[in-house]
Amino acid sequence: MAGPAQAGHQRARAPPDRPRPADDLVSYEEARLAFRNHGFHLETLDRPITPLGSHFLLIHFDVPELRAEDYAIKIGGHVREPLSLRLDELTARPTVRQPTILECAGVGRAFLHPRPIYVPWFNEPMGVYEYTGTPLRSVLEQAGLREGATEVVFTGWDEGVDLGVTHAFERALPLDEAMKDGVILAWEANGQPLLPAHGFPLRLIVPTWYGMASVKWLRSITVIDHTYQGVQQKQVYRFQTSSSDLGRPIRKKAVRAAMKPPGIPDLISRERFVSRGRTTIHGMAWSGNGSITKVEVSIDDRRSWRPATLEAPVSPYAWTPWRFSWDANRPGEHMLSCRATDSAGNRQPRNPVWNLQGMAQNGAERVPVRVR
C-alpha cells in the first residue's frame, strides 16, 4: 500500500454519460446547506429501519433548544375547547408505533437544469424511523372541530427569514388529511426521544406527504376556517412550470425506488466497485399514492428493464424492500437503474422532469458501477 506521496485527491471527472447535475457545480450557499441538511446513508438501504443518525434532515432555520419538562403544545383556533398538552399528557394518550418513510420534496433537485437554488439533493433525502406517537385525529376530536373548519395549521419553534419574510416554519393540512390514519404527533423515533435536529420533543408525522408537511418542534396546532396563506405553502413547495405559473402545491410523495449501491465505494467519486460474479442488489421503493406493485431494474442504462422481487412492506407507512440478482460477469463500467410502479398506476419517468423549484423529482436513479 505504500508509495511516494501523490498530489492529493484529484477531481474525479466522470464521463459525460454519468448521472450528474447538468452544470456539475453547486454554489457556496448550496454546499453549506448540504452540510447542515444531512443526507441518508444509502448503504443502509437494506435495513428495514434506518439507524438513528443516518436519516435525512431538512432544517429550514435553526434547531431550537427545547426542554421536555417545560414543553406543552397548544391546540386552538376554530375549535370548541382549546387545549394545552404537556409531553406527559401526550404520552399518556393512546399510543401507536409505526415505521414511516419521510422524504424531502427537494429530492433529485441536483439533476435539473437550470437548477433551482435550494438544498441540492441528489437521491439521499429520505429514511424510515419507527415513530412512537398518538393519533392527531383524537387530539383534534377532543378539542372539538367547529362548523366550517377546513384546514389545520402546524407551527414550529424554528424561526427565520425566507423570501424576505420573517416567520416560524409553518404548514397546513386540509382537514381530511389531518384526520387520516397514520397522521400522528410523535415523540420517539426508534424507541428513544426524537433527536434534537429531528424535531425533539414533538413533531408531526404525515406518512403520505413529502417531509415539509411533517412539521418539527411543534409549538401549536391551529384549526382554521379559510385557506392558509403562509410562505412555505403558497410560495415554496409548489410545482411551477415557469416563474409566471402560480403552480400547484406539492403534497404526496411521488413513487420512487432507491438502490443500495452495490460493492465498495471510491472515496471521492462514490463510484462503486463490484467483484465479478453474481451479486444481489437490494433496495427500497415507496409512494405517497398507494402501495408498490412493481420494481424494475435496468443494467443497460434504462434501455431494458427486468422485474425485481418484492418483499412485504415494512409497514403500511414505510417502504417496500426489493432485490434483484445481477450476473455481473462483464468487467468494466455498467450503469444500473431502478424504477417503481405504485397501485395507482404511477411509474417513475425515465428522466427528471424539470420544474422551477425543483420539487418532487422522481426520474429513475442511475448508479454507476465498475465490475472488476
Interacting positions 24-53 with a second copy (CB under 8 A): 24-39, 41, 43-44, 47, 51-53
Q: Does 16 bind a second copy (CB under 8 A)?
A: no
Look up residue 32 and give its amino acid: R
| Residue among 320, 341, 357, 362 that touches a second copy (CB under 8 A) | 357
Restricted to residues 50-109, the positions that interact with a second copy (CB under 8 A) are 51-54, 57, 59-63, 65
- In the complex, the smallest distance separating the C-beta of residue 93 from a second copy, rounded to whole angstroms, is 26
| Dist. CA 21–CA 37, nearest whole Å | 19
Position 93, amino acid? R
Q: Find the shortest distance in angstroms from Cβ 368 to a second copy.
A: 12
Lay out the site mask for a second copy across 290-329 (x = CB under 8 A, - = otherwise): ----------------------------------------
Phi, psi of 60 (to 5 degrees): -65, -45
Q: Using the rule CB under 8 A, which residue among 5, 81, 278, 329 binds a second copy?
A: 5
Rounded CA-CA distance 54/44 in Å is 8
- Residue choice 96, 149, 197, 353 for contact with a second copy (CB under 8 A): 197
The three-state DSSP-derived secondary structure of 196-236 is: HHHCCCCEEECCCECHHHCCCCEEEEEEECCCCCCHHHHCC
Q: Is 139 or 367 the residue whose CB approaches a second copy more closely?
A: 367
What b-and-e string marks burial along 78-106, b requiring 16 or more CB atoms within 10 Å of the CB? Answer: bbeeebebebeebbeeeeeebbbbbbbbb
Phi and psi at residue 190, in whole multiples of 5°? 50, 40
Instruction: Judge contact between 198 and 192, C-beta under 8 A.
Output: no
**Whole-angstrom Cα distance, residue 310 to residue 294?**
7
Residues of span 211-250 touching a second copy by CB under 8 A = 229-231, 234-236, 238, 240, 243, 245-247
Contact map string, positions 145 to 174, toward a second copy, x by CB under 8 A: --------------xxxxx-xxx-------
Smallest separation, CB 192 to a second copy (Å):
7
The verdict on 201 binding a second copy (CB under 8 A) reads no
Q: Closer to a second copy by CB, 83 or 117: give it.
A: 117
What is the C-alpha separation between 336 and 298, in angstroms, rounded? Answer: 6
Cβ atoms 111, 122 nearer than 8 A:
yes
**336: which strand partners?**
367
Q: How far is 121 from 21, CA to CA, in rounded Å?
A: 10
Residues 257-276 that bind a second copy (CB under 8 A): 264-270, 273
Q: Which is nearer to a second copy, 187 or 305 (CB)?
A: 187
- Cβ contact 321:314 at 8 Å: yes
Residue indicated by cell numbers 389545520: 152
Count of CA atoms in the C-beta half-sphere (13 A) of 366:
19
Q: Which of 78, 105, 118, 185 binds a second copy (CB under 8 A)?
A: 118
Least distance to a second copy, CB of residue 71, Å: 15
CB of 262 to a second copy, least distance (A): 11
Smallest gap from residue 180 Cβ to a second copy (A): 27
Residue 17 binding a second copy, by CB under 8 A:
no
